Amino acid sequence: MKKTVFYHAGCSVCVSAEHDIINLIGAENVEVIHLGNDRNKIAEAENAGIQSVPALVTPNGNVLHINFGASMEDVKK
């Protein structure tokens, strides 16, 4: 089964959402990508349709933007 992917940039909003997502769906069901630490994944996130972080990409490709932490433009700086 394909995992849900959670993208974030490390801000307090993102870290809080990461903990909530892991508690809700389980660490074994989510891949966490910290775009501040893994900058080569920024294009992947944008290609998936992410416009701001934190955000989830579900196994079937739906993008769920969660609270507003940072725009992708801010992440790229």
For tokens 């630490």, the residue is 37
44: left (phi over 0), alpha (psi -120 to 50) or beta: alpha
Q: Which domain holds residue 40?
A: 4-76
Residue 36 sits in a domain of what CATH number? 3.40.30.10
Is the CB of residue 40 less than 8 Å from the CB of residue 33?
no
Q: What is the pTM of this model?
A: 0.88
Instruction: Name the maximum alpha-carbon separation found in the chain.
Output: 34
Total count of domains within the chain: 1
Smallest Cα–Cα separation from 76: which of 48, 58, 52? 52
> For 20-63, what is each residue's pLDDT tens digit?
999 999 999 999 999 999 999 999 999 999 999 999 999 999 99
